[in-house]
């Protein structure tokens, strides 16, 4: 089966390409390198021992999307491509709405034209919004999103639902990620956020490597185990394997799955685990809460286990070890 992976040089995309290749899928990569480096391709090829066709195209250009489908007999698409920084999306909403929606619609329209119907969408737990629950299950549906990035994910999910309702020859799988972290055990690929990291784990990496002085922990007065925020951190390799399972096992129709560990871990618990596993002290200070943050949420991952035979295998210790291994191997 030939799979087009859009955003295939990005953090989650690159790890998914590795797992697809290991499962003997033929992979085509499209990436405009807005949030990825071309050197990631040679690292993926080193890990897998395979070569991959790369289209360095902006998928907002529909002609370019058609060219990819004309060049290759694509059987399925895994769609990662899209801007994904929450803070940036608040500052630049039009950039997020135009890029994320146009790329998704272009892909779907060209798939329709070339009669390709198997589509896996990279969505996010952020679509649940603040629904008053801490454990999210797929049947809860979407809530009120709190930033344009999250809203584009919710909008694309709605587009997919309407598309399927109009033509149920589509085979659509929506995967809602919780907090992707970690790196491939080789230390060759991992998370490379542009500039100062917004997310917790990449920030801890920069403090651990001395590039940033200390971690600001946004609030310790939440109603949680130790007052700090609680999240469902999922190792990116487990997440990548979830996409392979979705490709192999998702039932026909439109199906939605949480991809998470099913467990909540607090910010302080993650920091303490990182320090213990890597024998490194992380300087931090408690500061005020970050606007928009929720106290606690994590996944109910039962549906993915029952229907796809998938669950996380990596531990928080694996996450901390693999993240630091990547950081050490990629000192910039």
- Cα–Cα distances (Å) from 172 to 1, 257, 285, in that order, read 16, 11, 44
In whole angstroms, what is the distance from residue 232 CA to residue 270 CA? 11
Scanning 55-63, 91-99, 194-202, 272-280 for contacts with ligand WQD by CB under 6 A, the matching segment is: 194-202
Residue of 72, 131, 199, 220 interacting with ligand WQD (CB under 6 A): 199
**Separation of alpha carbons 156 and 124, rounded Å:** 11
- Binding to ligand WQD (CB under 6 A) within 27-86 occurs at 84, 86
The verdict on 293 binding ligand WQD (CB under 6 A) reads yes
Rounded distance, CA 325 to CA 278, Å?
Answer: 9
Q: Which of 96, 247, 102 is nearest to 171 (CA)?
A: 247
The residue among 73, 56, 63, 57 whose CA lies nearest residue 106 is 63
Q: Does 252 help bind ligand WQD (rule: CB under 6 A)? A: no
**Packed helices 11-22 and 39-48: angle between N→C axes, nearest 10 degrees:** 30
Dist. CA 177–CA 122, nearest whole Å: 8
Write the binding mask 79 to 118 for ligand WQD: x where contact by CB under 6 A, - elsewhere. Answer: -----x-x--------------------------------
Q: Which residue is at the shortest CB distance from ligand WQD?
A: 229
Q: Is 216 in the site for ligand WQD (CB under 6 A)?
A: yes
Regarding 272 and contact with ligand WQD (CB under 6 A), the answer is no
d(CA 38, CA 26): 19
Q: Which of 139, 163, 155 is nearest to 82 (CA)?
A: 155
Asked if 179 interacts with ligand WQD (CB under 6 A), we say: yes
Q: Which part of the chain contacts ligand WQD (CB under 6 A), choosing from 23-31, 42-50, 74-82, 209-217?
A: 209-217
Q: Which is nearer to ligand WQD, 8 or 229 (CB)?
A: 229
Nearest approach, Cβ of 331 to ligand WQD (angstroms)?
20
Element (H, E) at 29: strand 26-30
In angstroms, what is the minimal distance from the CB of 179 to ligand WQD?
Answer: 5
Question: What is the widest separation between alpha-carbon atoms in the chain?
Answer: 56
Q: Is 217 in the site for ligand WQD (CB under 6 A)?
A: yes
Query: Which of 142, 231, 245, 321: binder of ligand WQD (CB under 6 A)?
Result: 231
Q: Which region among 41-49, 160-168, 211-219, 274-282 touches ligand WQD (by CB under 6 A)?
A: 211-219
Taking the least distance from each CB to ligand WQD, the nearer of 71 and 293 is 293
Catalytic residue among 96, 149, 222, 257: 149
Decide if residue 198 touches ligand WQD (CB under 6 A): yes
Residue 235: closest CA among 208, 198, 280, 273: 273
**By CB under 6 A, what part of segment 5-34 binds ligand WQD?**
none
Among 48, 218, 220, 300, binds ligand WQD (CB under 6 A): 218
List the one residue from 16, 124, 151, 278 that touches ligand WQD (CB under 6 A). Answer: 124
CB distance 58 to 30 below 8 Å: no
- Could you confirm whether 149 is annotated as catalytic? yes
What is 45-107 written as a DSSP string? HHHHS---EEE---TT-HHHHHHHHHHS---EEEE--S---HHHHHH-HHHHHHHHHHHHHHH
Question: Considering only 2-10, 210-218, 249-257, 315-323, which stretch makes contact with ligand WQD by CB under 6 A?
Answer: 210-218
Residues near ligand WQD (CB under 6 A) = 84, 86, 124, 126, 150, 177, 179, 198-200, 203, 215-218, 229, 231, 267, 290, 293
| Residues annotated catalytic, as ranges | 149
């Amino acid at each position: 089966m030939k799979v087009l992976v859009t955003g295939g040089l990005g953090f989650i995309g690159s790890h998914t390409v590795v797992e697809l290749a290991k499962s003997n899928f033929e992979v085509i990569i499209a990436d405009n390198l807005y949030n990825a480096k071309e050197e990631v391709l040679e690292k993926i090829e080193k890990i897998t021992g395979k070569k991959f066709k790369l289209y360095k195209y902006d998928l907002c250009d529909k002609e370019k999307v058609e060219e990819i489908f004309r060049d290759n007999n694509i059987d399925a698409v895994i769609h990662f491509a899209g801007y994904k920084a929450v803070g940036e999306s608040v500052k630049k909403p039009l950039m997020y709405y135009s890029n994320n929606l146009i790329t998704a619609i272009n892909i779907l329209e060209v798939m329709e034209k070339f009669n390709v119907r198997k589509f896996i969408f990279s969505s996010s737990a952020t679509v649940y919004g603040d629904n008053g629950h801490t454990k999210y299950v797929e049947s809860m549906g979407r809530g009120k999103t709190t930033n344009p990035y999250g809203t584009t994910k919710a909008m694309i999910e709605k587009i997919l639902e309407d598309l399927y309702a109009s033509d149920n020859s589509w085979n659509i799988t929506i995967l809602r990620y919780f907090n992707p972290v970690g790196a491939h055990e080789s230390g060759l690929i991992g998370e490379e956020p542009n500039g100062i990291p917004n997310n917790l784990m990449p920030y801890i990496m920069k403090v651990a490597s001395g590039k940033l002085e200390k971690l600001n922990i946004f609030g310790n007065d939440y109603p949680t185990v130790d007052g700090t925020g609680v999240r469902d951190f999922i190792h990116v390799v487990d997440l990548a394997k979830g996409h392979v399972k979705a490709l192999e096992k998702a039932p026909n129709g439109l199906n939605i799955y949480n991809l998470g560990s099913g467990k909540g871990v607090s910010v302080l618990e993650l920091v303490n685990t990182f320090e213990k596993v890597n024998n490194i002290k992380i300087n931090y200070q408690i500061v005020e809460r970050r606007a928009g943050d929720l106290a606690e949420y994590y996944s109910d991952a039962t549906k993915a286990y029952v229907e796809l035979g998938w669950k996380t295998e990596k531990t928080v210790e694996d996450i901390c070890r693999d993240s630091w291994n990547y950081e050490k191997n990629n000192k910039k």
